[in-house]
Amino acid sequence: MLKAGQGIIGAGADKTAIIAKSPTIDLIAGATHFDDKIVPTSFVLADLTLQGGLNGINHSAAGSGQGAAYHRITLSHVTLSHMANAGILIDNIYAWDNNFIDHSHFFRCKTGIKQRPDPAYVGGDHIGMTFLDKNVFYQNQFIDNDVAIDWQAKRGNNLNAFINCLFKNNGLAINLNNSDSTFFANSVFETAREHRY
């Protein structure tokens, strides 16, 4: 678990690995519980591999709290592989907003990045709305996932960008709902695979 402002910096994705002993545990989860108000928070993950859990990074209401607003995070040169649910789960918090995610790899996960808002959210500015705004994904790879990007927003996501990214052999590359101005620049989409191996 990482509290607000904490992080882990490894010696390289091929040298530092955190490996789950069970497919039912999260490898990194938000631990500072912001539940009654909106609180900007951040974390650092760089130069390491997360492998084999339920979620590589779990930012959900249970750990982060519904008021957690992740911004200005450092997520760089991280490999997230073989996750039973998602490489990154963003679920029932306030937001991921203004983040730069670079040179990270999502490999053989059920979902690369999964967004799920509070099912009770009906409108307005509230905790739990779970929006993604102004996130830039630069030189990331999404390979052999069931679904690479699964964003199911209620309050619309805005101005997210995928630049120089590779989507290869995913069952489904992109599944977006209520995402405005999401754009892909100089990114490659290769044929979806027929069978998971």
Residue-wise pLDDT for 50-97, tens only, equals 999 999 999 999 999 999 999 999 999 999 999 999 999 999 999 999
Determine what percent of the chain is predicted with pLDDT higher than 90.
Answer: 90
Rounded-to-integer distance, Cα 168 and Cα 14, Å: 21
Q: Are 13 and 42 in contact (CB under 8 A)?
A: no
Domain residue ranges in the chain: 7-189
How far apart are the C-alpha atoms of 181 and 158, rounded to whole Å? 6
Nearest Cα to Cα of residue 112 among 146, 159, 157: 146
User: Which pLDDT value is given to residue 55?
Assistant: 98
C-alpha 84/C-alpha 41 separation (Å) is: 26
Other CB atoms within 10 A of residue 95 CB: 25
Q: Which of 5, 90, 94 is nearest to 56 (CA)?
A: 90
pLDDT tens per residue, range 35-56: 889 999 999 999 999 999 999 9
Going by the DSSP 8-state scheme, the letter that residue 128 receives in this structure is: T
CA distance 105 to 87: 9
Q: If pLDDT is split at 50, 70 and 90, which confidence band does 197 have?
A: very low
Q: What is the pLDDT of residues 140-157, one digit of tens each?
A: 999 999 999 999 999 999
Yes or no: say if 35 and 67 are a contact pair by the CB < 8 Å rule: yes
The DSSP secondary-structure symbol of 191 reads P
Residues ≥6 apart with Cβ < 8 Å to 125: none
Q: Which helix (H) or strand (E) holds 184?
A: strand 183-185
Q: How confident is residue 34, by pLDDT bands cut at 50, 70 and 90?
A: confident
The mean of the pLDDT values for the chain is 94
CA distance 69 to 71: 6
Fill in the DSSP letter of residue 193: P
* Cβ-based neighbour number of residue 73 at 10 Å: 21
Q: What is the CA radius of gyration of the chain?
A: 15
Distance of CA 58 to the CA centre of its chain: 8
pTM for the full model? 0.95
